[in-house]
Structure 1
Amino acid sequence: MLTNDVLDKWDRESFFHPSTHLAQHARGDSASRIIAGARGSHIIDRDGNRILDGFAGLYCVNAGYGRREITDAIAAQAAQLSYYHAYAGHSTETSITLAKMVMDRAPKHMSKVYFGLGGSDANETNIKLIWYYNNILGRPEKKKIISRWRGYHGSGLMTGSLTGLELFHRKFDLPLSGVVHTQAPDFFRRDDLTQTEAEFVAQCVQKLEDLIAAEGADTIAAFIGEPVLGTGGIVPPPDGYWQAIQAVLDKHDILLIADEVVTGFGRLGSMFGSDHYGMKPDFMTIAKGLTSAYAPLSGSVVSAKVWKVLEDGTDENGPLGHGWTYSAHPIGAAAGVANLRLIDDLNLIENARTVGAYLKDGLVKELGSHPNVGDIRGDGMLCALEFVKDRPTREFFATDQKVGPQITASLLAKGVIGRAMPQGDILGFAPPFCLTTIEADEIITKTTRAVVEVLGKE
């Protein structure tokens, strides 16, 4: 116990935590959770508590915890070759193998993958390559990026600007110029409750057209979007949304970046969200599911159309001036190779599809008629509940009531991790793909108890 107490002290004195209320943590006003181990869909904290992780870390431990196939591959790679760079045409066996495996799974019109470390740096790479692309094509004015409110694309300078969540802009002087935002495809939060889904999609399309007209199509380089809004509330797109948006982008010669950091490699029950919703991206951002978070690795996947221009650019200007020291790190690549093989061998994408549907259906059955549950939504192994003060009028709770965090805390006390999503009273789930129906039943039962505990019975 002494070691634990010392660790807690060191944590508050020395560790700068991301996405944390810094003052509360440093003072000891908020709980410190130190994780000691994990296996399957469960984590174990320093006091031996076994907790069902209904969010797979941060939507990322897709294969589940404690997979020896992946950890052994990491150890073997570290022993054989712990590092070499990828600059100037250098490669390692694992980085080449992983690139081949990614491209075998990607939509057929995609061409090459550039490896980084995290989703934020992959999206920075995407924007930099898009600017380069338009400069090579002699279109130096075509540089603006359209993102969407409630979207999440990282927390760097450019990627934090692309992110459409106020928390990531406040007091950071973001968004930077050159990034503009359009309406989120969140049908539940539409202003006009009489709208049909088709009418709402038409409104989203019209707002995008209006924004393009106001900014000038000749100044807009790309549109970035998650196939399913993730941190913005786990919001699947309305029917026909991506086909309608794609038509607008094609008309105005605007590139599409599909941010697949959350959805890539099976979370929707399909290999990629782009396949799932019929998108045709020019860039795909990959990260979390690439290694199931056993090692940091990300990727920017570029289409054949884009790759040809990049090649032409280096013929004209010499080597591409972009790279990270740890691009295609062999340990990360070894984790990726083992992870993708394991997902195939265990048929985990099919499990994500079937058990994910079971989880959502069970939550609908138990809580779908609760007067304070406004929406239960999701696709594949993604699910969210949004809470309201009054369901018929869709009146929301006051922010200071913190209904979502209260329910999340109640659920955690019962041994299940869900995530209180920002900008709404939303409880999100994104479990590991290995989740069983027994574990899904536990999430359903304990979520129901937590909702009743905070909001009362129906």
Structure 2
Amino acid sequence: MNSIESIAAIGAASSTLHGFADLRALQQSAGLKLIKAGRGVWVHDEAGRPLLEAASGMWCASLGFGDPELVEAAIEQFKTLPYYHTLGGKSVVPSEVLSERLLAKSPIGKGKVYFACTGSEGNDFLVKFVRFANNAAGLPKKKKFISRTNGYHGATLAASSLTGIAGNHKGFDLPLPGFLHTADPHYYRNALPGESEDDFCQRMVRELRTLVESEGPETIAGFLAEPVGGAGGVVIPPAGYYTRVQELLQGFGIPFFSDEVITGVGRLGDWFGSDTMGIKPRAIVMGKGLTSAYFPLSAVILEQELVDRITEGSDRNGHYFAHGATYAGHPVGCAIALAVLDIIERRNILDHVKRMAEVFKRRLLALQEHPLVGHARCVGLVGAVELRPLPGAAGDPGGELVKKVHAIAENRYGLIFRKLANNVCAFSPPLVITEEEINELFDRFIAALDSAMVS
């Protein structure tokens, strides 16, 4: 097998089309970094240099890198049955067992689970399933979806349309018709002068009500939101927001769908972020931490009423549900996910997250004293700091400050975090991180902030 040992071996340009990157720069391999190994919360670059991975890759390597139990679970399933499908009345044992266990742990309770490969696919399939269910229920107008400005829901056409980040629409002719966006409940950034958190929540709900009434509640198929925003800035809505939103939606007969691709499987300290944030969803989409990113797998958990409607639609369609995917319920992915659930239970990972979350919170909120930090926020083991220019400095509409801090942190101090729009530095370390490693993470980040002030 051919092997690439260094950036130099790639030549003038990478043959891989990279996402969310400066493609022009990567034509000269500028800024490209090869990650060649990983263990625990650490990854190693081509030179063997250790980097503290404070973002779990893409919010996903929840049990860290190189866990031998997950590797062994994959190997054993590869030996037993490396692949089979879940189409046309066939199934595999890991898929059936995983469905039962997810339903038992979820706030959905009774229903069914459909597996996909990515969170994007999961959200896309949810839209498809809900439209099919509403047609079966004689509700052909009930097709529009409301999500939030700055919410992120994936990269397929429907998931990108659900996403409320303008930069993800530009050039792609998105969003598609039928996808609407309501206000971003980011109090620090969007509150009016003198507006209390309670008044802010009421205004957010009024804006949602106005949108629903202007579109017609009979046309709204559902409201989709992340319990805690991810790529849009780690947005943690104020207390009372979800209670008011759910009351409004219930009054209009609009279901709440929860995008738990990031917050599922322990990220906030509970199995589901919906439990942490007081959400009672009618469907949940999850992924990322479901396999600790050791295999591409996502899941759509549907309440029984939606399943019943889908079954009725299948009956009307010649007893045939015309949806399927080659890798849905892949036995290796499901076997790894079952091992993840076992590890979380046996090693008491949720209790560990709750303990480490206190250390994480203490260190992260203390950053608000730093001259470059405008706001710090966290829940569980996900958090962010929003940077601001130094007093007297010009504004930073292009986010140059976060780029500078990110580069210094990675290149000088061996720390990886997610840089997001609006000068946001996001942290979502593996759930297995220790107190010592949390302190190391923030010591390195402070060093990067200090260096950014003088360089």
- Give the TM-score category using the shorter length: over 0.9
Letter in 2 for 1:339: V
Question: What residue ranges of structure 1 are gaps of 5+ in the alignment?
Answer: none
CA 1:11–1:79: 2 relative to 1, 3 Å: farther
* Partner residue of 1:430 out of 419, 428, 431: 428
Q: Say yes or no: does 1:330 pair with 2:328.
A: no
Paired residue secondary structure (2:132):
helix
Residue in 2 that maps onto 1:72: 72
Residue in 2 that maps onto 1:84: 84
State whether residues 290 and 340 of structure 2, in contact with CA within 8 Å, keep that contact through their aligned partners in structure 1. Answer: yes
State the shift of 1:456 in Å.
5.6
* Amino-acid identity (%): 33
Number of positions where the alignment pairs a residue of Structure 1 with one of Structure 2: 451
CA 1:108–1:16: 2 relative to 1, 3 Å: closer
Structure 1 CA distance for aligned equivalents of residues 401 and 441 of structure 2: 18
Residue in 2 that maps onto 1:420: 419
Question: What residue ranges of structure 2 are gaps of 5+ in the alignment?
Answer: none
State the shift of 1:295 in Å.
0.4
Residue in 2 that maps onto 1:358: 359
Question: TM-score normalised to the size of structure 1?
Answer: 0.95
Structure 2 CA distance for aligned equivalents of residues 169 and 198 of structure 1: 32
Residue in 2 that maps onto 1:130: 130
Structure 2 CA distance for aligned equivalents of residues 6 and 359 of structure 1: 35
1:246-267 Cα deviation digits (max 9, x unpaired): 1111111112110000000100
Matches within 5 A, 1:186-265: 186-265=186-265
Residue in 2 that maps onto 1:121: 121
CA 1:219–1:429: 2 relative to 1, 3 Å: same
Structure 1 CA distance for aligned equivalents of residues 328 and 187 of structure 2: 39
Structure 2 CA distance for aligned equivalents of residues 62 and 241 of structure 1: 28
Letter in 2 for 1:451: L
1:398-442 Cα deviation digits (max 9, x unpaired): 224611111111111201111111x21010100000100100001
1:326-355 Cα deviation digits (max 9, x unpaired): 000111111111111111111112222221
Q: Say yes or no: does 1:21 pair with 2:19.
A: no
1:361-388 Cα deviation digits (max 9, x unpaired): 11322x2222331111010000100012
Residue in 2 that maps onto 1:410: 408
State whether residues 153 and 160 of structure 2, in contact with CA within 8 Å, keep that contact through their aligned partners in structure 1. Answer: yes
1:274-309 Cα deviation digits (max 9, x unpaired): 111111111100101110000010011001221221
Paired residue secondary structure (1:441):
helix
State whether residues 6 and 46 of structure 2, in contact with CA within 8 Å, keep that contact through their aligned partners in structure 1. Answer: no
Q: Say yes or no: does 1:385 pair with 2:381.
A: no
Matches within 5 A, 1:273-422: 273-317=273-317, 318-365=319-366, 367-389=367-389, 397-400=395-398, 402-412=400-410, 413-421=412-420
Paired residue secondary structure (1:309):
helix
1:210-242 Cα deviation digits (max 9, x unpaired): 101111111111111000010001111110111
Letter in 2 for 1:77: Q
Letter in 1 for 2:234: I
Runs of 4+ in 1 over 6 A off after TM superposition: none
State whether residues 84 and 330 of structure 1, in contact with CA within 8 Å, keep that contact through their aligned partners in structure 2. Answer: yes
Paired residue secondary structure (1:200):
helix
1:118-160 Cα deviation digits (max 9, x unpaired): 0000001100011011101111011000010010000111111
Matches within 5 A, 1:133-172: 133-172=133-172
Paired residue secondary structure (1:12):
coil
Structure 1 CA distance for aligned equivalents of residues 102 and 109 of structure 2: 13
Question: TM-score normalised to the size of structure 2?
Answer: 0.95
Structure 1 CA distance for aligned equivalents of residues 125 and 293 of structure 2: 20
State the shift of 1:88 in Å.
1.7
- Give the alignment's Cα RMSD to 1 decimal: 1.9
